[in-house]
């Protein structure tokens, strides 16, 4: 599992986005980035998290930051999810989970006694130069977007 510390440069990447473009993390230099990884579109906790970030977006943008969501879902799923919940930020498709592995969020999980590989819900706050400000791993959705805003 990849680990990096506060102050470290985070790994750069390029992924296809729900907006129809390819997005490269380093293209946001000069702005803070709220990079959140979530397991699956249209599941209760992931929907709540996305809607919480949507609702907090004016506060996030007022602090000079952008929001990017990443999951292993296909672009088609991301597009429907973004449209259904009016998500105003890009959702990136990491279907090969390469970026999730770079960030150490692709892990063996257990649910109902079954083991499987998947994304562990995590958020990374990245500064204007591409360095890690703060990370939240294995987080709870309730109140999380508010925590991110308060750290910004």
pLDDT digits (tens, 9 = 90+) for 72-131: 999 999 999 999 999 999 999 999 999 999 999 999 988 888 998 999 999 999 999 999
CA 15 to chain centroid, in Å, comes to 12
- Catalytic: which of 46, 87, 120, 126? 46
Residue 46 a catalytic site member: yes
Confidence of residue 48 (pLDDT cuts 50, 70, 90): very high
Q: Looking at the predicted structure, is the pLDDT value of residue 1 above 60?
A: no
Contacts of 35 (CB under 8 A, 6+ apart): 10, 25, 68, 70, 103, 123, 124, 125, 126
Average pLDDT over residues 55-65: 97
Task: Please state whether the predicted TM-score (pTM) of the whole model is above 0.85.
Answer: yes
**Mean residue pLDDT across the chain:** 95
- Residue 85: its pLDDT value, please? 98
CA 88 to chain centroid, in Å, comes to 14
Lowest mean pLDDT among 94-98, 109-113, 132-136, 147-151: 109-113
Would you tell me the crossing angle of helices 144-151 and 44-62 to the nearest 10 degrees? 20
Contacts of 148 (CB under 8 A, 6+ apart): 34, 53, 56, 60, 123, 125, 136
- Residue 2: its pLDDT value, please? 62
CA dihedral 117, 122, 128, 130 (to 10 degrees): -30
Task: Please list, residue by residue across 84-113, b when 16 or more beta carbons sit within 10 angstroms of its beta carbon and e when fewer do.
Answer: eeebebbbbbbeebebbbbbbbbeeeeeee
């Amino acid at each position: 599992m990849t680990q990096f510390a506060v102050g470290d440069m985070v790994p750069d990447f390029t992924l296809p986005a729900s907006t129809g473009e390819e997005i490269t993390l380093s293209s946001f230099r000069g702005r803070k980035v709220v990079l959140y990884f979530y397991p699956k579109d249209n599941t209760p906790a992931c929907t709540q998290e996305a809607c919480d970030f949507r609702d907090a977006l004016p506060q996030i943008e007022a602090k000079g930051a952008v929001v990017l969501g990443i999951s292993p879902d296909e672009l088609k799923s991301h597009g429907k999810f973004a449209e259904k919940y009016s998500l105003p930020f890009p959702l990136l498709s990491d279907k090969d989970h390469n970026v999730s592995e770079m960030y150490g969020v692709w892990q063996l999980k257990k649910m109902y006694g079954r083991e499987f590989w998947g994304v562990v819900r995590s958020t990374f706050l990245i500064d204007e130069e591409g360095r890690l400000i703060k990370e939240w791993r294995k987080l709870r959705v309730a109140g999380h977007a508010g925590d991110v805003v308060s750290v910004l």
